[in-house]
Structure 1
Amino acid sequence: MPSSDDTDAADGSVGRRPLHRAREVLQSSSLVAERGIRSGDRSESAATAADDGAFLRREHDGRSYRLYVPPDYDPTEPIPLVVLLHGCRQTPAAFAAETGMNDIAADEMFLVAYPKQSILENPLRCWNWYDDTDATRGNGELAWLAALTHAVRDEFAVDEDRVYVGGLSAGGSMAARAIVEYPDLFAAAGVHSGAAYDSVGSSFAALSQMQRGNGLDEREAGIEAYEAMEERSRAIPTIVVHGTDDDVVDVANARQLTEGTLRASHRGVGGEAGDVDLEPDRVETGVSGPYEYTRRQYRDGTRTLVVEEWLVDGMGHAWAGGSPDGRFTAPEGPDASRLLWQFVSEYEQSALETAADARWTLPVVGPVSLARWSRLQKKVRAAVSRLSDR
């Protein structure tokens, strides 16, 4: 991979460059598309977040990222890792400052890696989530993100059962790809204002998807995600946060992502394609500042909470509950950073894989004894009991 620039300053001049190629049609739209995201004009000192934590500059394979290490980190005690992907025209430092995720990491004791998109790969620092050469397993940017995650795990005391991925806008869209393409690496995901999972393949198709949702119906999208997981298929827990007034990535994407994730997860634990229950198990409404919101929870056949969806009425393309100093955050909205952590932190890789393995066992064993059936039920309950009570 080519070496990227290592500055965390925003590239205000990038948006004025001539964008002639087809890919740059999408990128030029991102000047509008990411107007709900800060350009990264905060100082380095303002971005260092929690007291006594370390916000490190790192590099992997010629490309840079930032890593937050919380206070009192003990290299002998493994802790969770969250990989958080910024939106277009953002930098890791700006994204950390806007989301406040480092403060939560300091309180809850987990690491946060902020990979940085290079202007050499995309002039507006958008993750190329729509391009199969960059966003499929073993390829391009997504392969680099996976390798970076492994590098952090190798260097720091990371609980490999509790590695998570999340992001905003283009970063959220890439996170939706990451949990499908690498379910053996990331236990759960958070997608804020991102596009629904789909291998659209071109910048023109991606722009259409952002505006209208993907071209597949939810059944097809779920099948595509399930098939991408191959033998690694399992439930892919995802929290979805989206504003209903988002005129950049239409809220239709949130609804499609919810249903597609639910369908893929249902198949991933051995369910049949046609018998998935699409009704939420729990619906709550509430108010946060000027915004009303609806929270829906969906469970799979093992009673595991698979999708938690937050639709914030009247909110545009901005990070909910972000820093009040951000020009384009929604600080009075629900605290998306806290919601993301509270959701993903309940999941462990081994428990999800065990639940999937147990469900897949049943169709092929034929008649089973009551004793074996009892042992299998006990195995499933032990794997998912902590999740199913949420």
Structure 2
Amino acid sequence: MSRRSLSPLTRAYARNLKALTKATKATLGSGNRIARRVRSAAASQLKPPPGRGDWIAGAALGPAGARRYHLYRPPALELQPGEKLPLMVMLHGCGQTGRDFAVSTRMNRIADRERFLVLYPEQDRLANAQGCWNWYERRSGKADAEAATLMAAIDQVLLLYPADRERVAIAGLSAGASMAALLATRYPARFKAIAMHSGVAPGAAKSPATALGAMRGQHVPPMPATAVGKAMGAAAVFTTLPPLLVLHGDADSVVSASNAVSTATVWAVATGAKPGAARLQQRGKRHPMRITDYTRGGRTAVTLCEIAGLGHAWSGGAASMHFSDAAGPDASKLVWAFAARQFRETAPRS
């Protein structure tokens, strides 16, 4: 039967059938491509990050449920009898995984050289669809439950591996930085140092609504020491809070750079520290930074690093990763140097 002899209705049906077949093939092809991408993404997350050490998977149970983690252990460790290693806890930001954060920060390379363990807890997407730590859910109690669950992960690592509970430091990016601050204020005696990179000032938010304002630089806590201690939920002020390193880019469009000064000021008030003169520092062609130390009794309570031209990204991180700026000062080196100094200064004298 020739095409001319077909009725208009039959020809319309044939056209629609052809279009449907074509669309079905396109949809199936698109679905297959999406499935391949999902499988590839899942496989990449299961693959250990670059490094010669061990990438050990684990999970801890706490008030907020279970949280996965990975522990990085440097290669060929030959420990002396009874020897234990420092532990660096690294909290990723929104939209990241523990593996992403390890690749971006390259903290494992420093661990290889300096001989310490690195713990990468990971937020569950059922707890937060964007993978953010719920640092701001204080009114509901969700933040405290999550902090307690992270402490359970830290305690589990201290129990199972040769980690020194007297030499634990914690660092985080963005939501991870704010959760690190919450942990340090809830459990101040458990950490010898804390580093906040591009985070919100402690005590600036208690709910999702106030968190958005805090990210814009609003809701800064009051300055009197007693009020700051209450807002932060610290066990005490003047004596217990661990030294703090603050890193923030002045071109951050996600978390206002004003949070950096607010964070340093709040921590300084809570510890009775006073700011010294700011100094400028630049290495090669990397972004310059302005550094201000807040001290009390000759000891540094806060170091504030304001980085010129840096957006919402880990300074000096791997160029291939999101939320990572290779042109900035090496934040991982700065974080470890800050923590190592606190370990030395608080070590028992023989």
Does TM, scored on the shorter chain, surpass 0.5? yes
Q: Please give the alpha-carbon distance, in whole angstroms, between the structure 2 residues aligned to 1:205 and 1:189.
A: 24
Q: Secondary structure at the match of 2:282?
A: strand
How many angstroms does 1:191 deviate by?
A: 0.3
Give the corresponding residue for 1:108. Answer: 114
Give the corresponding residue for 2:51. Answer: 50
Q: 2:168 aligns with which of 163, 166, 169?
A: 163
How many angstroms does 1:296 deviate by?
A: 1.5
Q: Please give the alpha-carbon distance, in whole angstroms, between the structure 2 residues aligned to 1:41 and 1:241.
A: 31
Contact 1:318 1:330 in 2 (8 A): yes
Instruction: Report the structure number with the largest CA radius of gyration.
Output: 2
Q: 1:89 aligns with which of 63, 83, 95?
A: 95
Q: 1:319 aligns with which of 308, 311, 314?
A: 314
Aligned residue type for 1:238 = L
Aligned residue type for 1:195 = V
Contact 1:194 1:254 in 2 (8 A): yes
Q: Compute the RMSD of aligned alpha carbons.
A: 2.7
2:228 matches 1:222: yes
Q: Secondary structure at the match of 1:345?
A: helix
How many angstroms does 1:248 deviate by?
A: 0.7
Aligned positions, number:
302
Q: Please give the alpha-carbon distance, in whole angstroms, between the structure 2 residues aligned to 1:351 and 1:338.
A: 20
| Segment drifting more, 306-315 vs 72-81 | 72-81
**1:197-236 correspondence runs (5 A):** 197-198=202-203, 200-219=205-224, 222-224=228-230, 228-230=234-236, 233-236=239-242
Q: Secondary structure at the match of 2:236?
A: helix
Q: 2:184 aligns with which of 175, 179, 189?
A: 179
2:342 matches 1:347: yes
Contact 1:285 1:292 in 2 (8 A): yes
Q: 1:256 aligns with which of 248, 258, 262?
A: 262
How many angstroms does 1:227 deviate by?
A: 5.8
Aligned residue type for 1:325 = S
Instruction: Return closer, same or farther for 1:154/1:317 CA change in 2, 3 Å cut-off.
Output: same
Q: Please give the alpha-carbon distance, in whole angstroms, between the structure 2 residues aligned to 1:147 and 1:343.
A: 25
2:141 matches 1:145: no
Q: Normalized against structure 2, the TM-score is what?
A: 0.79
Q: Please give the alpha-carbon distance, in whole angstroms, between the structure 2 residues aligned to 1:338 and 1:84.
A: 13
Q: Please give the alpha-carbon distance, in whole angstroms, between the structure 2 residues aligned to 1:96 and 1:201.
A: 29
Q: Normalized against structure 1, the TM-score is what?
A: 0.71
Q: Please give the alpha-carbon distance, in whole angstroms, between the structure 2 residues aligned to 1:45 and 1:60.
A: 18
Instruction: Return closer, same or farther for 1:81/1:226 CA change in 2, 3 Å cut-off.
Output: same
Instruction: Return closer, same or farther for 1:309/1:326 CA change in 2, 3 Å cut-off.
Output: same
Contact 1:57 1:65 in 2 (8 A): yes
How many angstroms does 1:323 deviate by?
A: 0.5
Structure 1 residues 331-378: Cα deviation after superposition (integer angstroms, max 9, x where no partner):
0110001100000112249939x9xxxxxxxxxxxxxxxxxxxxxxxx
Identify unmatched segments of 5+ residues in structure 2: 1-33, 35-40
Give the corresponding residue for 1:193. Answer: 198
Contact 1:209 1:215 in 2 (8 A): yes
Q: Please give the alpha-carbon distance, in whole angstroms, between the structure 1 residues aligned to 2:267 and 2:104.
A: 27
Instruction: Return closer, same or farther for 1:328/1:234 CA change in 2, 3 Å cut-off.
Output: closer
Q: Please give the alpha-carbon distance, in whole angstroms, between the structure 2 residues aligned to 1:307 and 1:228.
A: 16
How many angstroms does 1:211 deviate by?
A: 0.7
Give the corresponding residue for 1:4. Answer: none
2:293 matches 1:291: no
Identify unmatched segments of 5+ residues in structure 1: 1-12, 14-39, 267-275, 355-381, 384-390
